[in-house]
């Protein structure tokens, strides 16, 4: 076949397969048989292999998966992917409605959608072509899983319009695919996935896209993050638009004119959820009007215009076989119920926290008891109560030990606390848990150092404290089980990268009692070097807003310990950064003089000198509020390169417009 003929044939096959795929996977209305579809796909693949110069990343053939990836790149979301606040009752929903109406008035309507139990994703399209897909990650930064997302048939590779936009959705594994996958794993002697959510997440984090393609995932798109050249006034209008340009939208979405209708919708799904071909764990309720959404705004973690109703926890009966003990990084000894495996809310549960000795005594929990188990918020398993009427007389009372199960030191109960605690600083369990905390995402964020790897390193005597992490070498790591050259190189590179982390990450990672991630950042902003913080007095610490007496006393006590100062000096000598790299705290006078004070700002286009996240953080530190769309309430628009419809609308509304140079100049003063 001549090249020109092949090019025409390939384009015809692609168009046919796109149309057939859209009707099959999105509309659920097949136009041809599976055999006919597969025949056309094979013909396309053969032609693309014969003429490799005609291959395209938007061809339906990429659905079968490309070559393996070396690793996943980190990517920053254009706008943060925030979490949602939760509601657990009708009253919680009415309280949400009351808060909304207090701000926007009584003419409010809602959009309701099923909350799919899967993996949140962000998809970016440029001129109608799918160019990037990422996981939610921490909400600001996710992982680039574009290659794997291309294998999901319901995610369009080319849209029906040449529009540039970012959308949010949920990738999930249908129940049928989940059952088939677990049957295959069981036949191969492998451990089954606990639930479809874990299976979907695991599939999309496969470095080999061909493996992801075999898992038969699906996806619903539920929101527009940003769109150029299109003005949308409501959420349901946005969903309809997404559907017209080729996205798969959940058909069970509903428009409700009152909170009573919302509650009726929620209650209608309490019983019907089991009939769906995929798992859901609740209902998402959103204020429908986009202008109202802007007026309501956001908290630090979630939008004020949306809430997730979580279904009541499923309760099941099982047998408590044993109670084991776990020693955490602060020395607290936590009892855990070992249960006869039982399925709760789609997950196999074998263990549940019992919190402390007082709870065991209060509920009269005994070994061998029949107990009621549920998942708090559909996440954490807990023992609700004991079915004493089912006792046979063979059940045995449980008593907490007097000595640490890990190191043998005597356990103590500190004044005002219910927990038993091991206060031996050399307790191996505390050291191991402290290491796991140090490398975690909110702390030093060292990829490749999960709980299993840390435990392996610790048990082989390669690490005894956090400084030892920075002394690991390639040769000793290669001796460990499941440590190949590629994974070792990636791990060492990640450890090296962590040295550059800002001071607040190190402070949180050190595990100072009462100092969480937010307090760590506050401390770093006010004492921007480790030296300054180590020298800070109790009075200087409590003078800082949000640093209370307990925390200040704990910090002073921590830095008085010789072994702590030796550790910090050692970390510094190994090249770990000891300074704060983020924006400095802004005084009230500076905020008052800021050009952003009290103003609503919109960012659009590509910024060169800093990321959108950095720009947003600096503007908000100077008293501004950053929103995602232009309206009559917008005071200022910052336009980077290739600014589109937002710039056009800002001009129409006579809104003040800056270029990036003006922004950089303003935030530098």
Q: Are 340 and 360 in contact (CB under 8 A)?
A: no
- The structure tokens listed for 548 are 């209370």
* CA–CA separation, 349 and 315 (whole Å): 12
Residues facing 286 on adjacent strands: 111, 306
Residue 517: DSSP 8-state: H
Residue 613's nearest CA partner among 656, 578, 583, 644 is 583
- CA 467, 469, 474 angle in degrees (round to 5)? 140
Return the exposure string of 480-489: e unless at least 16 CB atoms fall within 10 Å of the residue's CB, then b.
Answer: eeebeeebbe
The catalytically annotated residue of 29, 115, 248, 375 is 115
Could you tell me the strand order of the sheet in which 254-256 lies?
Answer: 85-87, 306-310, 280-287, 110-116, 254-256
Work out the burial of residue 534: count CB atoms within 10 Å of its CB; fewer than 13 is exposed, 13-18 middle, 19 or more buried: middle
CA distance 579 to 576: 9
- Which letter, b or e, does each residue of 17-36 get, where b requires 16 or more Cβ atoms within 10 Å of its Cβ? bbebbbebbbeeeeebeeee
Query: What are the residues whose beta carbons fall under 8 Å from the beta carbon of 307, sequence distance 6 or more?
Result: 84, 85, 86, 87, 92, 93, 96, 284, 285
CA distances from 23 to 15, 213, 218, 220, 521 (A): 13, 19, 14, 15, 50
Long-range contacts of 454-462 (CB under 8 A, 24+ apart): 456/480, 456/481, 458/428, 458/431, 458/432
Q: Is 606 one of the catalytic residues?
A: no
Q: How far apart are CA 652 and CA 194, in angstroms?
A: 54
Residue 135 β-bridge partners: 121
Active site residues: 115
């Amino acid at each position: 076949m001549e090249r020109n003929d092949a090019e025409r044939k390939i384009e015809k096959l692609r168009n046919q397969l796109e149309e057939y795929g859209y009707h099959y996977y999105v509309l659920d209305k097949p136009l041809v048989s599976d055999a006919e579809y597969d025949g056309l796909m094979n013909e396309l693949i053969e032609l693309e292999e014969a003429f490799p110069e005609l291959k395209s990343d938007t061809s339906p053939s990429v659905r079968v998966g490309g070559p393996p990836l070396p690793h996943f790149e980190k990517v920053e979301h254009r706008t943060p992917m925030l979490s949602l606040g939760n509601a657990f009752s009708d009253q919680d929903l009415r309280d949400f409605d009351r808060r909304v109406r207090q701000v926007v008035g009584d003419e409010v309507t809602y959009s309701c959608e099923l909350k799919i139990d899967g993996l949140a994703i962000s998809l970016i399209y440029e001129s109608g072509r799918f160019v990037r897909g990422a996981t939610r990650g921490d909400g600001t930064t996710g992982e680039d899983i574009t290659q794997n997302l291309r294998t999901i048939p319901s995610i369009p590779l080319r849209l029906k319009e040449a529009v540039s936009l970012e959308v949010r959705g949920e990738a999930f594994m249908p129940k049928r695919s989940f059952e088939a996958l677990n049957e295959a794993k069981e036949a191969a002697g492998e451990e089954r996935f606990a639930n479809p959510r874990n299976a979907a997440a695991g599939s999309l984090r496969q470095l080999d896209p061909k493996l992801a393609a075999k898992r038969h995932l699906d996806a619903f798109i539920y929101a527009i993050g940003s769109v150029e050249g299109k003005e949308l006034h409501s959420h349901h209008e946005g969903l309809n638009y997404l559907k017209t340009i080729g996205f798969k939208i959940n058909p069970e979405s509903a428009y409700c004119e009152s909170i009573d209708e919302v509650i009726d919708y929620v209650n209608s799904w309490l019983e019907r959820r089991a009939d769906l071909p995929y798992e859901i764990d609740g209902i998402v309720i959103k204020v429908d009007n986009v202008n109202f959404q802007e007026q309501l705004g956001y908290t630090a973690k979630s939008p004020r215009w949306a809430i997730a109703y979580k279904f009541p926890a499923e309760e099941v009966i099982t047998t408590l076989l044993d109670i084991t003990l776990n020693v955490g990084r602060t020395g607290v000894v936590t009892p855990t119920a070992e249960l006869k495996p039982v399925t709760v809310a789609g997950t196999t549960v074998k263990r549940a926290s019992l919190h402390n000795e007082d709870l065991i005594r209060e509920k009269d929990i005994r070994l061998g008891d029949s107990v009621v188990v549920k998942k708090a918020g559909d996440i954490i398993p807990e023992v609700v109560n004991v079915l004493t009427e089912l006792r046979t007389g063979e059940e045995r009372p449980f008593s907490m030990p007097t000595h640490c199960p890990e190191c043998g030191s005597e356990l103590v109960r500190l004044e005002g606390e219910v927990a038993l605690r091991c206060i031996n600083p050399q307790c191996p369990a505390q050291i191991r848990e402290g290491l796991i905390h140090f490398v975690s995402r909110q702390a030093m964020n060292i990829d490749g150092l999960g709980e299993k790897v840390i435990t392996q390193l610790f048990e082989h005597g390669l690490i005894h404290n956090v400084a030892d992490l920075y002394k690991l070498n390639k040769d000793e790591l290669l001796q460990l089980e499941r440590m190949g050259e590629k994974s070792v190189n990636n791990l060492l590179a990640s450890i090296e990268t962590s040295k550059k982390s800002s001071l607040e990450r190190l402070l949180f990672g050190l595990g100072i009692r009462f100092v969480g991630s937010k307090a760590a950042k506050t401390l770093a902003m006010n004492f921007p070097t480790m030296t300054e913080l180590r020298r800070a007095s109790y009075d200087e610490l409590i003078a800082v807003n949000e640093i209370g007496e307990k925390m200040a006393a704990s910090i002073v006590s921590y830095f008085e310990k010789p072994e702590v100062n030796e550790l910090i000096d050692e970390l510094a000598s190994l090249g770990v950064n000891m300074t704060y790299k983020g924006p400095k705290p802004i005084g009230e006078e500076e905020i008052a003089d800021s050009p952003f004070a009290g103003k609503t700002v919109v960012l659009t286009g590509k910024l060169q000198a800093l990321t959108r996240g950095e720009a947003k953080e600096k503007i908000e530190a100077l008293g501004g509020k950053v929103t995602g769309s232009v309206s009559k309430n917008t005071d200022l628009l910052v336009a980077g390169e290739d600014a589109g419809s937002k710039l056009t609308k800002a001009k129409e509304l006579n809104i003040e417009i800056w270029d990036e140079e003006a922004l950089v100049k303003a935030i530098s003063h």
